[in-house]
Structure 1
Amino acid sequence: MTISNVLPSAFLATVVAASVFGGSRMSAQRPLAVPPLRAAMFVADSAKLYTEAQAVEGAKVWTATCSGCHESKDVTSADFKTKWVGRSLFELYEQIRTTMPDDAPGTLTPEQYLTSVTYILKLNGLPAGETALVSDSATMSTLKFELPAPPPTSPLVP
């Protein structure tokens, strides 16, 4: 037997002996948690996610298409805020896109649906900024509503 044949066997025997008799055990480790590629960003009242021009166009869409069935309080009320807090802007966009207008869902352009969302943000007091909101599902899915929660109702105390 030559040395070149013995060395691999001796190395393997040493590794096995060290793991068996070394006083430590090898065990499977739990995989590390992989953070999501994009963490959710909450849309607070200081967020500037759309431009004023988008909100102006959204107001035009609202007046021409939405105001026949909706009042601004429909998208600013405590019920609206309770329903949408913690949910993504993409969910709101998709809800509007797939169900509105009531008599012809999906008939507006993607841009009209997007600007209507920006107008709703404006109606809820979120300020405009320098960067336009885009109708990219991945981006909009990371933006979560954090509108001021409605005050809790308390029973009247006599």
Structure 2
Amino acid sequence: MKRGFVAAVAAAALAAGIATGSGGLAAAGQARTTWDGIYTEEQAARGEPLYQEWCASCHAPDMSGGDLAPGLVGGEFVWNWSGITVGQLFERLRISMPQENPSSVTRAQKADILAFMLYVNEFPAGEHELADRTNMLEQIMFEAIQP
């Protein structure tokens, strides 16, 4: 009985690692963060032209912000989102950006844009692409300071 329970727990942990795209298992109790390489360089590269097309008119080509839109680079942006999940940030992008027509940009494109934002804010790239599903991104904490 105990052996079956342990096997079930191990299988669930493995499935969670695969579902989050981690490619491995985190240490017990250790949440993934923005410092764990949660996007790829290729994904960020795809996100740059999408950002310029869909976001730069309000947030500025260099992400510094505009009259009505906040900056998306630097300390103010990073500290504003620190301590919440990447899923919450993605959901904000998903439901409200671009402001004039949020459904004009697909989930995959928004994940690419978010990867570009992480790249510009100097979070490291990794081996797996950032997911385009909020529930998967809820497992990743946005942390301003590298642990």
Quickly name the TM-score band, shorter chain normalised. Answer: 0.5 to 0.7
Aligned residue in 2 for 1:70: 59
Q: How many residues align?
A: 112
Aligned residue in 1 for 2:33: 43
Further displaced range: 95-104 or 73-82: 73-82
Residue pair 2:38, 2:125 contacting (<8 A) in 1 also: yes
Separation in structure 2 between the aligned mates of residue 89 and residue 79 of structure 1, nearest angstrom: 16
Shift in CA distance, 40/83, structure 1 to aligned 2, threshold 3 Å? farther
TM-score normalized by the length of structure 1: 0.63
1:99-114 mapped onto 2 (5 Å cutoff): 99-114=96-111
Separation in structure 2 between the aligned mates of residue 40 and residue 137 of structure 1, nearest angstrom: 20
C-alpha deviation, 1:41, in angstroms: 2.0
Separation in structure 2 between the aligned mates of residue 124 and residue 97 of structure 1, nearest angstrom: 20
Separation in structure 2 between the aligned mates of residue 57 and residue 128 of structure 1, nearest angstrom: 13
Pick from 141, 144, 147 the counterpart of residue 147 of structure 1.
Answer: 144
Aligned residue in 2 for 1:15: none
Separation in structure 2 between the aligned mates of residue 76 and residue 87 of structure 1, nearest angstrom: 17
TM-score normalized by the length of structure 2: 0.68
Aligned residue in 1 for 2:25: none
Structure 1 or 2, whichever has the larger Rg, is 1
Residue pair 1:40, 1:142 contacting (<8 A) in 2 also: no
> Structure 2: any 5+ residue segments left out of the alignment?
1-12, 17-28, 65-70
Pick from 38, 52, 60 the counterpart of residue 49 of structure 2.
Answer: 60
Separation in structure 2 between the aligned mates of residue 52 and residue 101 of structure 1, nearest angstrom: 23
C-alpha deviation, 1:53, in angstroms: 1.2
Alignment RMSD (CA, Å):
2.1
Further displaced range: 131-140 or 82-91: 131-140
Aligned residue in 1 for 2:3: none
1:97 aligns with 2:94: yes
Separation in structure 2 between the aligned mates of residue 101 and residue 144 of structure 1, nearest angstrom: 24
Pick from 44, 63, 81 the counterpart of residue 84 of structure 1.
Answer: 81
Shift in CA distance, 44/137, structure 1 to aligned 2, threshold 3 Å? closer
Shift in CA distance, 140/125, structure 1 to aligned 2, threshold 3 Å? same
> Structure 1: any 5+ residue segments left out of the alignment?
1-36, 150-158
Pick from 113, 120, 136 the counterpart of residue 123 of structure 1.
Answer: 120
Q: Percent identity?
A: 26
1:135 aligns with 2:124: no
Shift in CA distance, 140/70, structure 1 to aligned 2, threshold 3 Å? same
